[in-house]
Amino acid sequence: MRHALGIEYDGSGFLGWQRHNGGATVQGAVEDALAFVADHPVNVVCSGRTDAGVHAACQVVHFDSDAPRSPRAWMMGGNTRLPGSVRILWCQPIDDGFHARYAARARRYRYRILIRPVPPAMLRNYLSWERLPLDAAAMHESAQKLVGEHDFSAFRTAQCQAKHPRRNLHDISVRAEGDQVVIDVQANAFLHHMVRNIVGSLVPIGRGEKPLDWMHELLNGRDRNVAGPTAPAEGLVFLGPKYPAEWGLPAEVCLG
């Protein structure tokens, strides 16, 4: 039987989502917890991998198990075995044709930048930081050049393993919220470090160091070497994927 989970996590203490032998990962923690509940090894497939230090509000995964456990047992039992920085929010059985990655039609990220003379202390793991003011309106206007299907090579890390650099960016917004600048991005999928590289290129525009059409120039130039730096991981949250309503998943991860 196939099950779908919604998972929230603080990525600060992990080397990213994907399990490997080099240290603590979110996938490793989730698989170990579910294996304890199932009493057999469990492999999970996620909707989108996150890097070291990146958080998730609702990562969606699927796994297969014939162990006779209720959704509540998977959720509550799994949470008793997970570190405090990872929580299963919901669990439900789902059709065997569901695939957490391939069934997703969109993914959403949010990036927050604190604007003040002093860097954050209490929220240092959840905010990026800029000393000087940023013009959020200018950043928003410039970012609209990225909407649509394009070759995003200018915002792709050299380590990216994607087969091609084309992605369809559905929406991007930049707004000021008190002492923060908030950037929301939705696309069909993302390249490695794509959101952080976009943010790193928007910041010089917000400072007034680059013109409004710079993002358009970078997009057309397709040269990562002339784009802005990769923004810090701390400000980034994977809000979650979006699926067609036919899968019957919770509203927070459904289209429409």
Give the bridge partners for 168, in sequence order.
149
Buried b or exposed e, range 127-149, using 16+ CB within 10 angstroms: bbbbeeebbbebbbebbebbeee
* 174 SS3 class: strand
* 155 SS3 class: helix
Judged by phi (left if over 0) then psi (alpha if -120 to 50, else beta), residue 222 lies in left
CB 84 within 8 A of CB 207: no
Amino acid at residue number 112: R
Q: What is the CA radius of gyration of the chain?
A: 19
Instruction: Tell me how long the chain is.
Output: 256
Is 32 among the catalytic positions?
no
Buried b or exposed e, range 104-114, using 16+ CB within 10 angstroms: bebbbbbbbbb
CB 45 within 8 A of CB 62: yes
Which residue is catalytic, options 51, 96, 179, 213?
51
Rounded Cα–Cα distance for residues 96 and 43 (Å): 15
Q: Which residues are catalytic?
A: 51
